[in-house]
Amino acid sequence: MKKTNAIYFRTAFCVGVDRLFRRTKKFEIPDVQKMAVISVDGRKVEITDADMIRRMTDMVTSIPFEKGESSKQSNGFGPILQWYDAGGNVVESISVMGEQTINYDGYFLDGVGWRN
């Protein structure tokens, strides 16, 4: 019994430390009414089809992201994905920087284990 508890504790500790130092983020986007894709030149396409919103949201929430360098000194940006609640308030906003990189909350985040 003690050996089993020790193995369980060691495993849980290692997983916890790994996640702490890797600084991963997995998005949890609540039920939303609308989504928008905003291009680099400012054109905005609103999406209200529930199935399309779910599929696009699932693509983002299925990928764990690892926190990278600060993006505060960066002048580059990419298309923006935004999700809105029933009141029209933005509940999440992500700038897509490349195939596996996003800009979120002042940091570049890279998809972990993601391949197209």
CA dihedral (30, 43, 40, 105) positive or negative: negative
Query: What pLDDT score does 19 carry?
Result: 45
Ranges of residues in the chain whose predicted pLDDT is under 50: 5-6, 8, 11-21
Residue type for position 94: I
Burial of 71 (C-beta count, 10 Å sphere; 0-12/13-18/19+): buried
Q: What is the pTM of this model?
A: 0.71
The confidence score (pLDDT) of residue 23 equals 66
